[in-house]
């Protein structure tokens, strides 16, 4: 492919990504499905080197996308509301992840899936994707309290999934002898990342206060977030918790600076807008790249059984978890927290790159992402249709 054609495709992808985002706002149809299909068409029509895309481009784009989206997740959380709903969100997240992880691992193991693959599928797919859940909920008619609860819930699950998956890759096989070491490593990593993220966030509010609305201050903030991620990743092989903590501190800078006895300062709202636009760009690129995997994906009866097992478990457990925590038979907003997406792809790439990796992991994760998003879009469309019919 020549340079002109690559630029033309990139331009087309961004235009279609914008139209997909617009369509979601109007029709509630997840733009992720459109972007994945575009990725498939690019490989099919232009015969691009999908393995080069998979090995060279997706890991970098996926990691940066996840950092930016988690940072955006932190920016959307109001600390006063977060404290109120933290208990329910944490209870729901821990209950869902524990039950879903246990069932997926157990069932897959007994149908003949290798133990390490069963663990990875269970740890990666027992969480929705904040890259999809946050934009979807923020653009929906979900009430304010539930919106914060579900964003916190999805964020907590993502963080749990990231920490557990990376720990499995690092410490497998986990034995009785090293179990306590793994737990201690997890707890210390979480506490230290929160501390570093909070400290870095408070420091950055002071820097922003000094430089004011200087040109390129938004780009400087993005560079700072990436730098803190790198610092945390070097120390603990995971910097995602630090990233979301920085976002949380910046979003609530007035309250936090007042608590620590500093002069009150609120960040510019344009920072959030800039971050959303950067997030859109990387998110568009990564989901188009995911579509390229469909061209090389192999499917057989074993993969089909795994897909049916995983999707059935996550839906049944999610419904029961919400019923237990919120005491509702079926919350019509529950489908907003079902889709899998960017986080799962990033963790799948980490898994494939590990000594235990197999490309089949990415195939299954990609199919789960597509199926859960199709189901979500279908339920949202039916709910919207039902609302229109009721008004008539």
Helix (H, G, I), strand (E, B) or coil at 140: coil
Predicted pLDDT of residue 284: 77
Length of the chain: 392
On whether the CB atoms of residues 32 and 129 are closer than 8 A, the answer is no
Can you list the domains of the chain with their CATH numbers? 3-172+282-295+310-391 (1.20.1530.20)
Reference 250, options 127, 78, 128; nearest CA is 78
Cβ count near 304 (within 10 Å): 12
What φ, ψ does residue 30 adopt, rounded to 5°? Answer: -55, 120
Predicted pLDDT of residue 144: 73
Residue 265: which residues within 8 A CB-CB, separation 6 or more?
205, 206, 208, 209, 253, 254, 257
Please write down the HEC assignment for all residues of 278-303. HHHHHHHHHHHHHHHHHHHCCCCHHH
**Whole-structure pTM value:** 0.80
**pLDDT digit string, tens, across residues 121-178:** 999 999 988 777 877 777 667 777 777 788 888 888 888 888 888 888 877 777 777 7
Predicted pLDDT of residue 328: 61
- Element housing 110 (H / E): helix 79-110
On whether the CB atoms of residues 330 and 105 are closer than 8 A, the answer is no
**pLDDT digit string, tens, across residues 83-119:** 667 778 888 889 999 999 999 999 999 988 888 889 9
Report residues of the chain scoring pLDDT below 50. none
- Element housing 333 (H / E): none
CA distance 25 to 29: 8
Question: To which residue do tokens 């989901």 refer?
Answer: 287
Cβ count near 278 (within 10 Å): 19
């Amino acid at each position: 492919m020549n340079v002109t054609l690559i630029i033309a495709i990139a331009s087309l992808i961004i235009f279609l990504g914008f139209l997909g985002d617009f369509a979601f706002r109007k029709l509630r149809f997840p733009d992720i499905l459109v972007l994945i299909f575009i990725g498939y068409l690019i490989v099919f029509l232009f015969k691009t080197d999908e393995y080069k895309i998979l090995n060279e481009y997706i890991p970098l784009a996926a990691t940066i996308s996840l950092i930016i989206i988690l940072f955006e997740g932190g920016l959307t959380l109001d600390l006063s509301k977060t404290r109120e709903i933290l208990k329910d969100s944490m209870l729901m997240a821990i209950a869902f992840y524990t039950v879903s992880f246990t069932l997926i691992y157990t069932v897959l193991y007994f149908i003949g899936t290798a133990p390490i693959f069963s663990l990875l599928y269970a740890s990666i797919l027992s969480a929705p994707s904040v890259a999809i859940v946050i934009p979807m909920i923020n653009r929906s008619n979900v009430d304010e309290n539930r919106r914060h609860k579900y964003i916190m819930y999805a964020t907590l699950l993502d963080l749990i999934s990231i920490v557990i998956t990376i720990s499995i890759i690092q410490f497998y096989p986990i034995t009785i002898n090293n179990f306590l070491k793994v737990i201690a490593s997890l707890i210390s990593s979480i506490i230290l990342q929160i501390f570093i993220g909070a400290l870095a966030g408070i420091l950055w509010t002071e820097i922003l206060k000094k430089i004011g609305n200087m040109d390129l201050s938004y780009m400087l903030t993005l560079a700072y977030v990436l730098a803190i991620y790198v610092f945390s990743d070097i120390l603990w092989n995971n910097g995602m918790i630090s990233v979301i903590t920085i976002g949380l501190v910046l979003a609530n800078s007035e309250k936090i600076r007042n608590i620590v006895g500093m002069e009150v300062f609120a960040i510019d709202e344009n920072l959030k807008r800039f971050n959303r636009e950067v997030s859109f760009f990387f998110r568009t690129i990564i989901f188009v790249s995911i579509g390229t995997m469909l061209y090389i994906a192999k499917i057989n009866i074993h993969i089909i059984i795994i897909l049916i097992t995983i999707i059935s478990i996550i839906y049944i457990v999610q419904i029961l978890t919400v019923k237990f925590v919120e005491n509702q038979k079926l919350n019509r907003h529950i489908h907003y927290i079902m889709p899998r997406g960017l986080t799962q792809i990033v963790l799948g790439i980490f898994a494939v790159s590990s000594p235990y990796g197999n490309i089949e992991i990415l195939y299954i994760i990609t199919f789960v992402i597509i199926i859960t998003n199709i189901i979500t879009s279908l339920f949202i469309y039916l709910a919207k249709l039902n609302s229109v019919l009721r008004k008539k």
